[in-house]
Structure 1
Amino acid sequence: MSGTNVWTRSRERMRRYPELLAACAAEAAAYGKCVSVTTMASEQELKKDLCAKEFEALKACFLSAAKKVK
């Protein structure tokens, strides 16, 4: 059996997560704030696409940071 399997790859991605999150702190904070404000305003119910702009910014940042970390 090969030593590289789905669990090994998943663990490696998860080990990099704190570094990627630190690189995207501003985007993560903006997304978290949007989710928090949205759930408070709509009685704890988050609807799809209410924070899509912030999520897309966070996603783009993660992808960019992941390319730099490799």
Structure 2
Amino acid sequence: MSGSSAWSRSREKLRLFPELFAQCAPEAATYGKCVSATTTGRQELKKDMCAKEFEALKTCFTNAAKRKAK
């Protein structure tokens, strides 16, 4: 059944997430600070307000995943 192998791959990726995410702690902190700073009070986060910070986090996470796959 092809669904079970897809689930196994997804589960494995989820297991690696904390380890990979930990490698990007500075980028995650910067993104979190941006989100926090732009949503003070009842202000909602607007699209692309923290795009630069998110892109840096995404790039870091992608690179960490690639290094782990080697």
| Shorter-normalised TM range | 0.7 to 0.9
Given the alignment of the two structures, is residue 35 of structure 1 paired with residue 5 of structure 2, yes or no? no
Shift of 1:9: 1.2
Residue segments in structure 1 that go unaligned for 5+ positions in a row: none
Report percent identity of matched pairs: 67
**1:2-41 map, 5 Å:** 5-40=5-40
TM-score (norm 1): 0.88
Task: Tell me the matched-pair count.
Answer: 69
- Distance change in 2, residues 1:38/1:3 (3 Å): closer
- Determine helix, strand or coil for the equivalent of 1:45: coil
Tell me how far 1:2 sits from its aligned partner.
Answer: 5.2
After TM superposition, the structure 1 = structure 2 runs for residues 39-54 of structure 1, keeping only pairs within 5 Å, are: 39-40=39-40, 43-54=42-53
**What SS does the corresponding residue of 1:40 show, helix, strand or coil?**
coil
